[in-house]
Chain A
Amino acid sequence: MKTNFLPASVTLFGALLLAPMVWAQGGPGPGGRGILAHSPANDNKPYDKHDLSGIWSRNGSPGGYGGGGTCRDCGDRGFGTDVPPLTPLGQKMFDANKPSYGRLLGTADAAAHSEEPIGRRRAVPPANDTDPYQHCNPMGPSRALIYPDPLEMIALPDRIIQQFEWGYGTRTIWTDGRKPLMDPDEPRWWGYSVGRWDGDTFVVTTTGVDERTWVDHFGYPHSVDMVLEERYRRSAYDVLELSMTITDPKVYTRPWVSEPKKFRKLTKDAIKTVDGWTGLMEDLCAPADEVELFNKRVRDPAGGVIH
């Protein structure tokens, strides 16, 4: 095998040395466009606080990051660090979920960050994880909202549609006055959601979420009895703030309030293919690509699992 480490390695080292510094600030956007920072020009733009329609991005760049990093401007990809104590059932479910995100289990890196919840310090190689999304199963609402890629909200007279770029998942939030569906006959991957206005805050209540979904990328569980409340507030023309609360007594001994999440508004032109086609990308997780091809031929062998 021919190997040639230097001097290319010196350049690589330099680039990697700088890279975390860039990420820590939110990072540049794909295509070198840079983070879509808040523009003072937007401060005086009129807007309707009850209009949530449009494309919103948590990291402010059109394509987001595929699989890593944090964004101090908008929180990272976890639900929150103030994790309530788990019930015995919750602990059992938590232990069964093995994520590949976070600090690697058993490493010095994980040991050096005991201040972080254990959920962020127990990553295993993807070949050995139990992450349902690694097999293209839907992420469910809280995890999809946490993912740093854009989502589009489409407001109709009786509902709001949330279209997520990552996974290309679609979720319906009904605003036609119906009540939350408690104890539904059949759980759904995206649950059953209703929305109402509480002053200038849009409050979404979701029930009946299939408990195979995770709360976030770190494998925090929930039961089918979870009630997820989202509170959206459009605080500026280009800023949307979100806070979530999970109430799930079967799993958590008290309600779990998320860290605040913040989205920037994007124009559809900010996301563009090489053909100039604008709008959300189709970041679909197709089993033909992900499970049959990538998992079997790259991901699993990388983890020592040979098919």
Chain B
Amino acid sequence: MNSKWHVFGALLALAIPAAAHHGTGASYDLSKPITLQGTVTEFHYANPHPQLFFDVTDDKGGVVHWSAEFYPNPSQLQQGGWGKKRSEAALAVGAKITITLAPSRAGTQVGAILKLLNDKGEVLLGVGGGGPGEVPQGGPPAGAAPEEKKE
């Protein structure tokens, strides 16, 4: 990690005091995000935290198994237009991803997902880098009921 990255990390830590007050925030270090390129091996669209498992090939050609949790729960994903079928299709086994994680403070290969892109650079499940509390985006999927007027 170069000095430029240290400066960025320090600024990031100052920028997100609210993010640390989170049940899972105690496990992950938001001040040291890492970005990995990997291949999906397993995905569970489950409450309260959908889970993603993926493999990363290191510089020596070895495969490292990673697991990660999403901050949004299925209800939030649903309302952001990311239903189970759409999400599972986007994260099918073998899918190539670029993923930014807040890594485990314990140093294990686990993280909380801050940003998730497919091999076309498209944001998946609305996780686009907004951090904990991010509102899943993506718009309603094709065929969804039109927005109804609220009271």
Contacts and interface: CB of A to CB of B under 8 A. Distances in A.
Interface string B113-138: 01100000000000011111111110
A19 B16 contact: yes
A12 B19 contact: no
Contacts of B8: 5, 9-10, 13
A238 B78 CA distance: 25
Contacts of B21: 68-70, 101-103, 123
Contact of B22 (A9, A67, A165, A273): A67
How large, as a class, is the contact surface on chain B?
A: 35 or more
Contact of B81 (A23, A217, A274, A294): A274
B75 A63 contact: yes
Contacts of B79: 29-31, 33, 62-63, 271-273
B67 A283 contact: no
How large, as a class, is the contact surface on chain A?
A: 35 or more
B89 interface: no
Q: Which of A1, A65, A270, A282 has the most CB of B within 10 A?
A: A1
B136 A13 contact: no
Contacts, number: 269
A2 B26 CA distance: 26
B100 A19 contact: no
A125 interface: yes
Nearest to B107: A304
A32 interface: yes
Interface stretch (A186-194, A203-211, A285-293): A285-293
A125 B105 contact: yes
Contacts of A282: 47
B49 A13 contact: no
A265 B67 CA distance: 38
A17 interface: yes
A157 interface: no
Contacts of B110: 298, 301-302
B135 A2 contact: no
A285 B49 CA distance: 10
Given A8-B115, A19-B133, A27-B133, A42 B27 contact: no
A29 B135 contact: yes
Interface in B72-101: 72-76, 78-83, 86, 98, 100
A276 B145 contact: yes
A217 B25 CA distance: 14
B136 to A, nearest CB: 6
B81 A31 contact: yes
6 closest Cβ contacts across the A-B interface? A276-B145, A304-B106, A68-B22, A274-B83, A30-B79, A281-B75
Interface of A: 1-6, 8-13, 15-17, 19-20, 22-24, 27-33, 36, 39, 42, 62-70, 100-104, 109, 123-127, 131, 149, 165, 217, 238, 265, 267, 269-276, 281-286, 289-290, 293-294, 297-299, 301-304, 306
Interface of B: 4-5, 8, 11-12, 15-28, 30, 33-37, 44, 46-49, 51, 53, 56-59, 64, 67-69, 71-76, 78-83, 86, 98, 100, 104-112, 114-115, 128-137, 140-141, 144-145, 148, 150-151
6 contacts: A31-B137, A63-B75, A69-B22, A104-B25, A298-B49, A302-B112
